[in-house]
Each structure stands twice: as structure tokens, then as C-alpha cells.
């Protein structure tokens, strides 16, 4: 039975809104990326591909921000996925204690990113922070400069991201684990499989779809961590925590270079799309090989 | 359907572009439509018409004082209602420009000197105040940063000294004299350190570099154009004046608290008010905050003197005139906005504001009764330089300079840090 043409009327309002608030700004941003508009003035010049050329061949800060973003992404994806799976494995049974712990681990998810940033900036503070106080109990007087040391600052910020979202992803893994038929574990036990073998050959293949969702979601989330980075470090010290989003923000709203920032946004879009495609291909390959 | 929407978006983006020409920029540079002596049009409000005015600024800590002043203004002008719109200073630059564009926010607004002033002027968002009586109420040589090509667009309301605060009692206890050379300055810091103090609490996570870089440079290069000339290549950050400054930063950073690059200004102030630190590497704008927590502390300011011989001293401090008041050219209530500006410029108003906020003023003839405005040294009698940082022509270059300082504090060689910063200057010149 062919759907009536009138059915399109039902999706039209959403499509119009999508066109106005997503497509139009995206295409306008593409147009502006070929200009030197400062975001304020009525006039500007068209500069062709100059913005893209400068960005990709001449901009050391952009290069640093890409490198930092990759470090941030890899840390968050690996640590967050591993931790959320570990918590899920320990809390999969629906006991009262487990449910209480799941709630506790989920709580940071409902905090705004800026709140998370302020909490962790205070905890990391080298003078009055609680981490310094705890280290002091163990005799450590001058601990690491969590946000001051350029070599570790990006990982300190990434850890705050992990803390904020592990609980949320743990729930996805728990749903995946609880969907595994119990008799598969019984069979594995009868066959004499060890706990590791059970995980390797029973659990992991069957939660692979959940893992794919977690990894993809975490990757995209790590590229959107603007508020956390900006509120904690504003990209410092010495660009050590500058990510692509904060780089674009500074260009557009502090340096008055909307055209150049738009070009960076377009490159960012392509960058995220490429990573997402690679990721989906890898995850599909993994599942095909089961 | 998707193709239709795509086509619609493409058409809209093509139509939505600006004029693409520079001609409208020339008009924008004239800074609005009013000229000297003309009365601004519209928005004064007739006797029965209530005008709602938006006053946009960044000082959340002054809200209550402004509330009181606004109440006084509204009592005198019953048909004008003033609402404050406040954004924190760290975000003001990015937010203000968008709010000003449609004229609904910021009929009267504040602007930072330097790159924000230049950007808003280019966009034609500040009314020309040249020749208006309100301008004569300000100290003439302190309003130059709100002017361009002989026209006055903004009037600074704050006079700030960007030099480290010191705890006078600690200095007197240790019998420390005001140093007149760099070696003497380091000796003072060493003495403080030997006596168990953090010599200087430095907020390296936020404002420290941007504040202290000014007195650190004031005698290294006395050319007022040293930063603007970066854009033409006449000066470089690899020149000796800047590298020398970075070397001194390297020496100075040994006297900061550990992990200073991770310390925000709140923690630095806490170190100072609890007398763990003898100096605070910010400026006079924190005096009121310090005294609110340590009311008995005696304060003075001590800029780093970076010359090796006292005879080489040109400047003995750094000042800034900021919180510049301007009228939005897109405002539909310019008459009311001017009345509010004139009210703020009255001596009694400016005195009340200064004494209740701890901010020195630029209006003529002010008398200060607040302790936070009375330092041991009278810097108005000394030769102080206008904030060099405000002359940096591009925000990316400013970030490169402050990040070079951060790099040196975290252990990078000054020459390498200077070279990396100069690379960014070269990139900006090629943009």
C-alpha cells in the first residue's frame, strides 16, 4: 500500500525548523568562511580560499588544538568506556545496594558542564584543593600541577569529563548485559569456562552493539566538551588544553574573525565526520568478524 | 522535500550575505550619525512616556551600588527606567558585541580599551560624543583611550593601577625598602622567601600574566607603539626588549606559589589576605576585595622595576583607564541614554560610586574617603605609563604574548618562548 502524499505534511513543520535552525546557519557559515567578516561590521571582502589555506598550512594554534582534541578524545573514549563497562559488570544484578550505587554513579550526569568544571577546578587547586589535602595526608606536600602543568593539564580536564559521564554510559552497558540470556552463562559454566573466557566468548560479543553506541557517543561528546575546557582552563596554560571548539570560539568572539572562525568550523565538521565514519567502519568490521 | 529545503537554504545564504564591500566600513568608522553639538534623536521620553534604558556592563560586584545610583536617577527622571544587564568580564567581550547589534540591549554600555574599543568603533556601534558637555567633566589626559582621530567615543569611568599590591606591615616588619633596580627587587623577594612568606601570590590560571606583563615591560621598551608595530614587522617579539622581559619572568616565577599557572585570582587573593603571601600580583582593582576580608591590612603597590640602574627608570608604574562608558548608535533612546551618562559623570555620583566600589575614578575633582582608595604611595604624583597590553592590536597576538609568559613560567627557555610567540604574530599578519 503506497503511503498517501499527505503524509509529508506531518513532517513538514520539523523539516522547516531543521532547515531554518540547522541547514541555513550551516550553509551561511560556509559562505562566511570565504570572507574576512569580523562579526560586527556591515561590510567585508571575499577572500577565496585564503582562510582555509592559512588554517591548514600556517596556523600552529589550530594544529595544537587538533592534537589536544585527539589526546582528549582518546583518553575519554578509552577510560570512560572501560570504567563504565567495569561498573556495569559489578552492578548488573538488581539488588538494592547495586541500584543505590547505580544512582550515585549516575548523579554527575545531571550536572551542567560548567558546574562540573567549577567543582573539578576547585578540587585540582594547588593551594586549597581537596586533592592537595588528601595527598598531604600521605606526606605529599607539593603534588602535581593538575591544571598548571602543560604536560598533564589536558588529561586532568579529560578526567573530569570521564567522571561526569561514566555513570550515564554504565546504564547503557547494564541494559546490554541484562539482555543476554541467562542460559548462555549456564552453558558456559557447565562447559567449564573461566570467568575471563565467559566474558571473552559470551559477554563481550553480545554487548558489542552497546559498546559501539558507547564509543560513538563518547567520541562525539569529547568533541563537544567546550564548556568544560573553557570554564576550567580557557585553553591554557600555553594552549595546552586548547581544543578545536575553544579555538573557534576565541577567533569568532574574542578576536573578531568570524570568517576565519567559520572556515575552522567547516574543517572541524569534516574532521568529526571522518572520525565518525572510520569508527563506524571499524565497529562494523568487528561485529562482522564475530 | 530535502532537496527543496537545501535549495531554500542555499538561496537564503546567498541573499543573507552582507554588502561584501568596504564602503559601509568607511561609514562605520565615523562612529554613528551624531556630530559635534547636535542633539541626539529620539528616546528622551515625553512627560507621559516611560523610556526603558538598558545599561550593560561587566561588574557584577557593583550591582548594588549601581542599583542605588539608578534609584537616584529614576527619582530625578521618573519617565526613565534603567535596567542593568551584567555579563562577567571574562565573557563580556564575546557577549557584548552580539547584544549591541540589534539595539535592544546596552543603550549605555561599557567597553574595554584596546582591541574591543577598536572593533566596536569599526562596526560603528559607539555614538560620537565629541563636543558634548559631559566630556568636559572628565580628566582630559585620562580619556584618550576612548578617542580616535580626534573624536571622543567612550569615556573611561575607572582609573586602575595594574601593579602588585603589597602588605605594608610585612614589609615594615622585615625593614624592606622600595627597590629601585631589578637586583634590589629580587633581593626583596628573596628576603620575603627566607622569612617564610610566599613572596608573590600569582594568579597564573586567569589574569596574572595579563596584569603583571605591563609593569614588567614598562621600562624594557618605552615606545608606546611597540605592540602596534608588530603588525608592520618594525618590532618583533624576538627583539631583545621582549626576550629580556621573559628572562626576568623566569627569575620572578621562582618567587610565586607552587603551580602558579593553576591558581585563579580567588585563590591568590586568599593567599594574600591570610598573609601567606606578602604581595598579590594583580592591581588596585582588588584592594576593595582584599580589605573586605582583611579590613586592617595596610596596602600599597610595588611595581617591578626591571632596570639595572636607577637612572634608567622612565616609568614608576602602570595605569589603565577602563570601564569606558559609551552610547549605542543602534539605541532608539539616545536622549535618555545621554541623560544617564551625564548623571554618572556628576561629581557626587562618581564619588559615591568610587567610595562604595573601591574603584578610582576619572571624573574631575573626586574626593576619596574609602580606605581601599588610599594607598601609602600617591601614584598620581609619579610618572605612570598607560597599560601597554591595551595597545596590542590583535587578541591572538595578546594571547601569544601571555602564553609565552606561561611557557617561561613552566620551564621553557625565554628565547624559545619568544620565537613561538613571534610565529603566531607572523601568522596573524598573513591572515
**B322 touches B34 (CB < 8 A):** no
What confidence category does residue B14 fall into, taking pLDDT thresholds of 50, 70 and 90?
A: very low
With respect to residue B29, please indicate whether it lies within any of the assigned structural domains. Answer: no
The chain-wide mean pLDDT, for chain A, equals 91
With respect to residue B214, please indicate whether it lies within any of the assigned structural domains. Answer: yes
pLDDT of B26: 36
Window A:214-233, CB contacts with B under 8 Å: 233
Other beta carbons less than 10 A from residue B73's beta carbon: 22
- pLDDT tens per residue, range A268-279: 999 999 988 888
Residues B58 and B135 in one domain: yes
The model's pTM is 0.84
Grid cell 532547515 is found at: A19
Residues B403 and B351 in one domain: no
Residues B147 and B171 in one domain: no
- Name the residue in chain A with its Cα closest to that of B13: A28
With respect to residue B41, please indicate whether it lies within any of the assigned structural domains. Answer: no
Range of the structural domain that residue B344 is part of: 51-159+321-373
- pLDDT tens per residue, range B289-300: 999 999 999 999
Residues B402 and B275 in one domain: yes
Residues B189 and B326 in one domain: no
Using CB atoms, pick whichever of B124, B267, B410 lies closest to residue A125. B267
DSSP B82-111: EEEEE--HHHHHHHHHHHHHTSSS-SEEEE
Residues B203 and B277 in one domain: yes
Residue B237: pLDDT over 80:
yes
**B354 touches B361 (CB < 8 A):** yes
**Counted domains in chain B:** 2
With respect to residue B112, please indicate whether it lies within any of the assigned structural domains. Answer: yes
DSSP A93-131: S--HHHHHHHHHHHGGGGS-HHHHHHHHHHHH-TTT-HH
Preferred mutation among A255, A258, A262, A263 to probe B, highest tally of B CBs within 10 A: A255
Strand B165-167 to B299-301 pairing? antiparallel
Compute the distance between CA of residue B181 and CA of residue B187 in angstroms, rounded to an integer. 10
The values of phi and psi at residue B197, to 5°, are -95, 150
Residues on chain A touching B2 (C-beta within 8 angstroms): 15
Sorted by where each begins, the domain ranges of chain A are: 59-288
Residues B171 and B278 in one domain: yes
Residues B199 and B111 in one domain: no
- DSSP for residue B363: B
CATH of domain A59-288: 1.10.3720.10
Cell of B265: 585570582
**B155 touches B135 (CB < 8 A):** yes
Residues B409 and B366 in one domain: no
Q: Identify the H or E element spanning B108.
A: strand B108-111
pLDDT of B300: 95
Cell of B241: 626588549
SS (H, E, C) A178-233: HCCCHHHHHHHHHCCCCHHHHHHHHHHHHHHHHHHHHHHHHHHHHHCCHHHHHHHC
Cell of A97: 545496594
Residues B171 and B154 in one domain: no
- DSSP for residue A3: P
**A10 touches A19 (CB < 8 A):** no
Residues B115 and B97 in one domain: yes
With respect to residue B99, please indicate whether it lies within any of the assigned structural domains. Answer: yes
Q: Identify the H or E element spanning A89.
A: helix A60-90
- pLDDT tens per residue, range B61-102: 899 999 999 999 999 999 999 999 999 877 787 788 788 988
Compute the distance between CA of residue B425 and CA of residue A76 in angstroms, rounded to an integer. 33
With respect to residue B197, please indicate whether it lies within any of the assigned structural domains. Answer: yes
**B280 touches A136 (CB < 8 A):** no
Cell of A21: 535552525
Determine, for residues A23 and B205 on separate chains, whether the beta-carbon distance falls below 8 Å. Answer: no
With respect to residue B5, please indicate whether it lies within any of the assigned structural domains. Answer: no
Instruction: Identify which of A100, A44, A37, A3 has the alpha carbon closest to the alpha carbon of residue A261.
Output: A37
Cell of A7: 503524509
Residue A288: pLDDT over 50:
no
**B288 touches B372 (CB < 8 A):** yes
Size of interface A-B (CB pairs under 8 A): 184
ipTM of this predicted structure: 0.85
**B281 touches B213 (CB < 8 A):** no
Amino acid at each position: 500500500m503506497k503511503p498517501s502524499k499527505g503524509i509529508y505534511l506531518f513532517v513538514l513543520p520539523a523539516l522547516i525548523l531543521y532547515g531554518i535552525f540547522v541547514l541555513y546557519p550551516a550553509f551561511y557559515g560556509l559562505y562566511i568562511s570565504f570572507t574576512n567578516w569580523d562579526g560586527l561590521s556591515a561590510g567585508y571582502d571575499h577572500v577565496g580560499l585564503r582562510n582555509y589555506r592559512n588554517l591548514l598550512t600556517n596556523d600552529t594554534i589550530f594544529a595544537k588544538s587538533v592534537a589536544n582534541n585527539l589526546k582528549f578524545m582518546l583518553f575519554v573514549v578509552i577510560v570512560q568506556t572501560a570504567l563504565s563497562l567495569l561498573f556495569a559488570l559489578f552492578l548488573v544484578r538488581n539488588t538494592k545496594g547495586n541500584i543505590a550505587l547505580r544512582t550515585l554513579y549516575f548523579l554527575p550526569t545531571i550536572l551542567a558542564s560548567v558546574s562540573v568544571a567549577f567543582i573539578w577546578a576547585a578540587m585540582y587547586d594547588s593551594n586549597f584543593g581537596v586533592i592537595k589535602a588528601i595527598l598531604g595526608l600521605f606526606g605529599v606536600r607539593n603534588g602535581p600541577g593538575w591544571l598548571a602543568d602543560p604536560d598533564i593539564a589536558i588529561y586532568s580536564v579529560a578526567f573530569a569529563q570521564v567522571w561526569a559521564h561514566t555513570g550515564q554510559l554504565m546504564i547503557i552497558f547494564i541494559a546490554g548485559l541484562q539482555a543476554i540470556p541467562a542460559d548462555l552463562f549456564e552453558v558456559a559454566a557447565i562447559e567449564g569456562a573461566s570467568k575471563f573466557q565467559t566474558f571473552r566468548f559470551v559477554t563481550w560479543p553480545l554487548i558489542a552493539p552497546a559498546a559501539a553506541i558507547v564509543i560513538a557517543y563518547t567520541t562525539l561528546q569529547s568533541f563537544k566538551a567546550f564548556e568544560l575546557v573553557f570554564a576550567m582552563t580557557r585553553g591554557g596554560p600555553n594552549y595546552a588544553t586548547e581544543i578545536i571548539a575553544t579555538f573557534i570560539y576565541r577567533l569568532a568572539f574574542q578576536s573578531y574573525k568570524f570568517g576565519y572562525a567559520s572556515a575552522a568550523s567547516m574543517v572541524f565538521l569534516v574532521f568529526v565526520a571522518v572520525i565518525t565514519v572510520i569508527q563506524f567502519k571499524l565497529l562494523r568490521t568487528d561485529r562482522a568478524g564475530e | 522535500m530535502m532537496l527543496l529545503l537545501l535549495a531554500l537554504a542555499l538561496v537564503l545564504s546567498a541573499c543573507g550575505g552582507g554588502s561584501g564591500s568596504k564602503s559601509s566600513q568607511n561609514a562605520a568608522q565615523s562612529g554613528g550619525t551624531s556630530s559635534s553639538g547636535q542633539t541626539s534623536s529620539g528616546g528622551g521620553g515625553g512627560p507621559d512616556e516611560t523610556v526603558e534604558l538598558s545599561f550593560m556592563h561587566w561588574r557584577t560586584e557593583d550591582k548594588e551600588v549601581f542599583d542605588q545610583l539608578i534609584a537616584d536617577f529614576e527619582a530625578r527622571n521618573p519617565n526613565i527606567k534603567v535596567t542593568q544587564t551584567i555579563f562577567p568580564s571574562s565573557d563580556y567581550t564575546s557577549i557584548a558585541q552580539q547584544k549591541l547589534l540589534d539595539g535592544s540591549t546596552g543603550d549605555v554600555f561599557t567597553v574595554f580599551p584596546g582591541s574591543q574599543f577598536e572593533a566596536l568603533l569599526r562596526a560603528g556601534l559607539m555614538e560620537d560624543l565629541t563636543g558634548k558637555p559631559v566630556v568636559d567633566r572628565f580628566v582630559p589626559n585620562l580619556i584618550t583611550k576612548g578617542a580616535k582621530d580626534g573624536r571622543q567615543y567612550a569615556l573611561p569611568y575607572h582609573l586602575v593601577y595594574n601593579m602588585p599590591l603589597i602588605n605594608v606591615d610585612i614589609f615594615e616588619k622585615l625593614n624592606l625598602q622600595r627597590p629601585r633596580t631589578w637586583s634590589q627587587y629580587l633581593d626583596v623577594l628573596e628576603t620575603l622567601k627566607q622569612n617564610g612568606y610566599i613572596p608573590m601570590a600569582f594568579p597564573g590560571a586567569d589574569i596574572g600574566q595579563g596584569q603583571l606583563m605591563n609593569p614588567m615591560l614598562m621600562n624594557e621598551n618605552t615606545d608606546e607603539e611597540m605592540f602596534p608595530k608588530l603588525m608592520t614587522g618594525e618590532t618583533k617579539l624576538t627583539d631583545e626588549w621582549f626576550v629580556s622581559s621573559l628572562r626576568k619572568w623566569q627569575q620572578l616565577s621562582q618567587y610565586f606559589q607552587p603551580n602558579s599557572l593553576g591558581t585563579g585570582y580567588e585563590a591568590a587573593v586568599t593567599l594574600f589576605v591570610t598573609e601567606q603571601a606578602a604581595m598579590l600580583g594583580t592591581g588596585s582593582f582588588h584592594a576593595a576585595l582584599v580589605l573586605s576580608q582583611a579590613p586592617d591590612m595596610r596596602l600599597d603597590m610595588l611595581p617591578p622595576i626591571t632596570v639595572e640602574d636607577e637612572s634608567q627608570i622612565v616609568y614608576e608604574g602602570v595605569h589603565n583607564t577602563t570601564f569606558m562608558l559609551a552610547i549605542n548608535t543602534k539605541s532608539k533612546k539616545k536622549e535618555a541614554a545621554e541623560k544617564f551618562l551625564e548623571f554618572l559623570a556628576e561629581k557626587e555620583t562618581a564619588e559615591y560610586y568610587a567610595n562604595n566600589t573601591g574603584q578610582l575614578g576619572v571624573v574631575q575633582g573626586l574626593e576619596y574617603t574609602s580606605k581601599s582608595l588610599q594607598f601609602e604611595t600617591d601614584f598620581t604624583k609619579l610618572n605612570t605609563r598607560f597599560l601597554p597590553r591595551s595597545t596590542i592590536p590583535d587578541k591572538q597576538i595578546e594571547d601569544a604574548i601571555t602564553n609565552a609568559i606561561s611557557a617561561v613560567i613552566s620551564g621553557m627557555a625565554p628565547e624559545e618562548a619568544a620565537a613561538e610567540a613571534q610565529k603566531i604574530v607572523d601568522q596573524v599578519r598573513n591572515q
